[in-house]
Amino acid sequence: MTTETKDADARLDRLNANLARVEELSKRLTSALTHRRNADPSLQGPSQEVYLKAAAAYVAEMMQNPSKILEHQIGYWGKSLKHYVEAQHTLVRGELKAPADPGPTDKRFANPLWETHPFFNYLKQQYLLNSEAITGAVSALDRMDPADKKRAEYFSRQIVDLFSPTNFLGTNPDALEKAVETDGESLVRGLENLVRDIEANNGDLLVTLADRDAFHVGSNIATTPGAVVYRNKMLELIQYTPTTPTVHATPIVIFPPWINKFYILDLKPANSLIKWIVDQGFTLFVVSWVNPDASFRDVGMDDYVQDGYLAAIEEIKRITGEKQVNAVGYCIAGTTLSLTLAYLQKKADKSIKSATFFTTLTDFSDQGEVGVFLDDDFVDGIERQVAVDGVLDKFFMGRTFSFLRSNELIYQPAIKSYMMGEAPPAFDLLYWNGDGTNLPARMAVEYLRGLCQGDQFATQGFTVLGEKVSISDVKVPVCAIACETDHIAAWKSSFTGIRKMGAKDKTFILSESGHIAGIVNPPTKNKYGHYINAGPLTTPDTWKAEAEFHKGSWWPRWREWLAPRSGRQVPARVPGDSTHPVLAPAP
């Protein structure tokens, strides 16, 4: 028997073994799918009304301005036919290659075969031409309501992205090459990854973005030394161990969003905002919110204010002996901090000396990209679902935020995991992203109906603990950091809310990058810069046009703003006191 024959037999044996594993995995897949939760249909996609309105607008445009529609169609037909003729002409000459491809670079099509192979290049160019035609047709619907048009544009783009040839095994050269090289092993590993994800999500599919076994909270992430010094039904309060002999007298408390875990601000030591704040000589407290279950169904926004914000502030005042704190709120926790500030103003309570907002919306008149999920079709579905479950499950929120960046957070990871059979990367940020939390039913509905949809805090007022409060009631000095490419809290909307606050002392900083990377931006990386403008907060565009750009992180600039508002130097404080014994090490 020749060596080649032995190699062929060995490869055939591997292929047969892989096929046997496919049969076993298929049984697991079938079993996992039977456990799929009963979710409200409205949570699976927008109502058909989105597409009906788009179709009606298209027909109206066709009737009233047929030349515009014909011009668009003929342009598409011409480009598609031209490319077909060019491809055929190359093949007629006996050249097995693709015609010239002057199109823009798209990282989905990085494999050289998309440029050189006639089949793959034809697929790619025709897909891009169709994509351009569809998105162009929707964007040209001038007779649609702007809000409806925005949703039609977003969801039509989702459909276009879904049908990219890279998302299908038979038309993805990377996946096909890997399958041949590994005798089908990559496809088996991919199926294993798929089954694992469906089993982990109770019959639903949510692609794993990071290696779940690579990180352990308190071991190789969230390692800044500190201790839990207080807890109640809503939170644990962490006080961090000082690293300087003296600290500013006024303590800082950070309220992170309760949609995810607090340790986004304490990943690796080099990226940790928590460690950096402690090293600057501040006494730092951070709230770690409870992950609610169905027993929290009646917990509302008032509970977060009363048993969250106000309780934490009172305990910090007792521990430190100070009458005031400097408060920080991130995302939804910043929104709720603004409600708390307005409530304290009504009560003439000066417990908060200054407030800092990270990527915070307080005016929801322009909801940004996430607004496409805040229409009644989705919110009605959420309201029905939480009435059954008692919570808004983290699965639905995680999936929604992933669809805001579907190519980066759904399709590309799915290709690598399910088609290429690759293991998820050991990436701390993506690990945190997958470590989500639930929202109490009542709180979720109050937030979505009253703030996101009703915009009550910026208009007629929002009721907090029996007091009607408004954005103009926020009077303390404020510093807001927004992020230029934030897809969750659009910076212009954040700017508008800060501008409407009643504070006389307002500072606005615009960081480069997005919702997370723009905040977790340590000075040592020198990665993303920021804009500042000491002038009045007029309009977002005017403010930015007149702003100064500075390279590097905004963290040192924030320290310069915060230090004069943080009092004298006092001896460093160890966690807890005689009435607040250490309950557990952080985190």
Q: Note the pLDDT tens digit of each residue in 343-381.
A: 999 999 999 999 999 999 999 999 988 999 999 999 999
Based on the fold, state whether residues 194 and 235 are members of the same structural domain: no
With respect to residue 485, please indicate whether it lies within any of the assigned structural domains: no
Q: Which of 422, 405, 39 is nearest to 201 (CA)?
A: 39
**Distance in angstroms (rounded) separating the CA atoms of residues 56 and 190:** 42
What integer is the mean pLDDT of 187-203? 93
Q: Is the pLDDT of residue 309 over 70?
A: yes
Name the band, by pLDDT with cuts 50, 70 and 90, for residue 96. confident
Name the band, by pLDDT with cuts 50, 70 and 90, for residue 8. low
Based on the fold, state whether residues 193 and 261 are members of the same structural domain: no
**Distance in angstroms (rounded) separating the CA atoms of residues 585 and 578:** 17
Q: What is the pLDDT of residues 472-518, one digit of tens each?
A: 999 999 999 999 999 999 999 999 999 999 999 999 999 999 999 99
- What is the helix (H) or strand (E) element at residue 262, kind and residue range? none
pLDDT reported for residue 9? 67
Based on the fold, state whether residues 175 and 284 are members of the same structural domain: no
With respect to residue 536, please indicate whether it lies within any of the assigned structural domains: no
pLDDT reported for residue 67? 87
Which residue, 200, 234, 269, sits at the end of a domain?
200
Q: How many distinct structural domains can be found in the chain?
A: 2
With respect to residue 559, please indicate whether it lies within any of the assigned structural domains: yes
With respect to residue 501, please indicate whether it lies within any of the assigned structural domains: no
pLDDT reported for residue 4? 63
**Distance in angstroms (rounded) separating the CA atoms of residues 449 and 93:** 64
**Distance in angstroms (rounded) separating the CA atoms of residues 45 and 39:** 12
**Residue 407 lies in domain:** 226-354+373-466+551-578
With respect to residue 240, please indicate whether it lies within any of the assigned structural domains: yes
Q: Is the pLDDT of residue 94 over 80?
A: no
Q: Kindly report which listed range (91-95, 273-277, 359-363) carries the lowest average pLDDT score.
A: 91-95
Based on the fold, state whether residues 283 and 430 are members of the same structural domain: yes
Based on the fold, state whether residues 450 and 311 are members of the same structural domain: yes
Instruction: Supply the DSSP string of 218-260, one letter for each residue.
Output: TTTBS-S-EEEEEE-SSEEEEEEPP-SSEEESS-EEEE--TTB
- What is the helix (H) or strand (E) element at residue 329, kind and residue range? strand 325-330
With respect to residue 336, please indicate whether it lies within any of the assigned structural domains: yes
pLDDT reported for residue 511? 98
With respect to residue 364, please indicate whether it lies within any of the assigned structural domains: no
Q: Find out whether 483 and 359 touch, Cβ atoms under 8 Å.
A: yes
With respect to residue 561, please indicate whether it lies within any of the assigned structural domains: yes
Name the band, by pLDDT with cuts 50, 70 and 90, for residue 6. low
pLDDT reported for residue 92? 79
Q: Find out whether 546 and 535 touch, Cβ atoms under 8 Å.
A: yes
CATH of the domain at 338: 3.40.50.1820
Based on the fold, state whether residues 382 and 253 are members of the same structural domain: yes
Which residue, 166, 200, 234, sits at the end of a domain?
200
Q: What is the mean pLDDT of the chain?
A: 93
Q: Is the pLDDT of residue 580 over 80?
A: yes
Those residues whose C-beta lies under 8 Å from the C-beta of residue 296, and which sit 6 or more positions away, are 290, 390, 391, 440, 441
Angle, CA of 155, 159 and 160, to the nearest 5°: 115
Based on the fold, state whether residues 169 and 282 are members of the same structural domain: no
Q: What is the pLDDT of residues 28-64, one digit of tens each?
A: 989 988 888 888 999 999 999 998 999 998 888 888 8
Q: Find out whether 28 and 195 touch, Cβ atoms under 8 Å.
A: yes
Based on the fold, state whether residues 382 and 460 are members of the same structural domain: yes
Provide the annotated active-site residues: 331
Q: Kindly report which listed range (21-35, 167-181, 253-267, 506-520) carries the lowest average pLDDT score.
A: 21-35
Based on the fold, state whether residues 291 and 184 are members of the same structural domain: no
- What is the helix (H) or strand (E) element at residue 3, kind and residue range? helix 3-33
Task: Classify 450 in phi/psi space as left (phi over 0), alpha (psi -120 to 50) or beta.
Answer: alpha
Which residue, 200, 235, 260, sits at the end of a domain?
200
At 22, list the tokens.
């496919």
Based on the fold, state whether residues 191 and 262 are members of the same structural domain: no
Based on the fold, state whether residues 53 and 93 are members of the same structural domain: yes
Q: Find out whether 476 and 489 touch, Cβ atoms under 8 Å.
A: no
Q: What is the pLDDT of residues 310-345, one digit of tens each?
A: 999 999 999 999 999 999 999 999 999 999 999 999
Based on the fold, state whether residues 175 and 298 are members of the same structural domain: no
